[in-house]
A and B are shown apart, each in its own frame.
Chain A
Amino acid sequence: MKNFLTLCLITTFIFSCGKLVGNSTGANDLLSDGLIGGSSAISIGNSRYIFEGSARNSGQAAQNYKVIFNLNENQDMDFYIHSDRKLEKGGQFHFSRIGGEVFLDIIINGKQDRKKLEIFKNTNPIDIEIDFHNDHTDVHVLVWRLSGPHEDQEGCSFSNRCLYNTEDFALDVWLGIGKAQGAYWGMQGDRNSILSIVGPNLPRSNL
Chain B
Amino acid sequence: MKLLFALSFALSLNAQAFEIKESVDVALFEVDTEIGKENVKAYKGTLIDDEVEVSVLTENSGTLTYGCHRHGPQIACHEEGHDHLAAVLKDLSLTTFDQMQAGSFAAILKFEKTLVQRGTNLAAISSYKVWTTPGTDDDDTLQEDHVDVWVRFDYHLNNSDKVVYVQCHEHGAGNLACHYQQTGNLEPQF
Contact = CB atoms under 8 A, between A and B. Distances in A.
A62 B137 CA distance: 12
Contact of B181 (A60, A138, A154, A206): A138
Contacts of A176: 181-183
Contact of A137 (B117, B167, B177): B167
A154 B110 contact: yes
B175 A206 contact: yes
A84 interface: no
Contact of A175 (B118, B175, B177, B180): B180
B117 to A, nearest CB: 6
Nearest to B171: A206
Contacts, number: 56
Main secondary structure of the interface of B (DSSP, over half): mixed
A98 interface: no
Q: How large is the interface on B (under 10, 10 to 19, 20 to 34, 35 or more residues)?
A: 20 to 34
Interface residues of A, number: 21
Interface in B151-171: 162, 164, 167, 171
A171 B140 contact: no
Nearest to A178: B182
A138 B182 CA distance: 9
A206 B175 CA distance: 8
A175 B171 contact: no
A57 B182 CA distance: 24
A162 interface: no
Contacts of A206: 138, 171-172, 175, 177
The 6 closest A-B CB pairs, nearest first, are A176-B182, A170-B180, A207-B177, A206-B171, A175-B182, A154-B113
Interface of A: 57, 60-62, 135-138, 140, 154-155, 158, 167-168, 170-171, 174-176, 206-207
28 contacts: A60-B139, A61-B138, A61-B139, A135-B139, A137-B167, A138-B181, A140-B179, A154-B110, A154-B113, A155-B117, A167-B180, A168-B117, A170-B114, A170-B180, A171-B164, A171-B180, A175-B164, A175-B180, A175-B182, A176-B181, A176-B182, A206-B138, A206-B171, A206-B172, A206-B175, A207-B171, A207-B175, A207-B177
